[in-house]
Amino acid sequence: DAMVIQNPRYQVTQFGKPVTLSCSQTLNHNVMYWYQQKSSQAPKLLFHYYDKDFNNEADTPDNFQSRRPNTSFCFLDIRSPGLGDAAMYLCATSPRGVEQFFGPGTRLTVL
């Protein structure tokens, strides 16, 4: 089945140790999004790619970076994770930005 896949589902890292989260899709959608969702809150958009064009939200910390090497894959890099970065990270895709399809999320724990 076509879907959005996130790996790993659970990631534990140490304070300040870089970590990379992965998202892949078989939907061939143009747009890919990364959201951060903290406990009992709504998802917060970090950035998105429309094809190869990167769009950063104004309040996304510099600590968060992203790469999209091809249509199918998108990565979220956290350069120096702090305790406040512990959250669920959600990837979503969209055909031309009309409707978004979410992956299962990666829960990040920072020790």
Partner 1 sequence: GNSVTQMEGPVTLSEEAFLTINCTYTATGYPSLFWYVQYPGEGLQLLLKATKADDKGSNKGFEATYRKETTSFHLEKGSVQVSDSAVYFCALQGPGTASKLTFGTGTRLQVTL
Sign of CA dihedral 17, 45, 42, 4: negative
Annotate each residue in 44-83 with x if it binds partner 1 (CB under 8 A) or - if it does not, as one string: -x--x-x----x-x--------------------------
**Minimum CB–partner distance for residue 59 and partner 1 (Å):** 12
Taking CB under 8 A as the rule, does residue 103 contact partner 1? yes
Taking CB under 8 A as the rule, does residue 29 contact partner 1? no
Which of 15, 28, 31, 43 lies closest to 105, judged by CA? 43
Contact yes or no for 5/27 (Cβ under 8 A): no
Tell me, rounded to whole angstroms, the distance of Cα 44 from its chain centroid: 11
Residues engaged in binding partner 1 (CB under 8 A): 4, 6, 31, 40-43, 45, 48, 50, 55, 57, 90, 92, 94, 96-105, 107
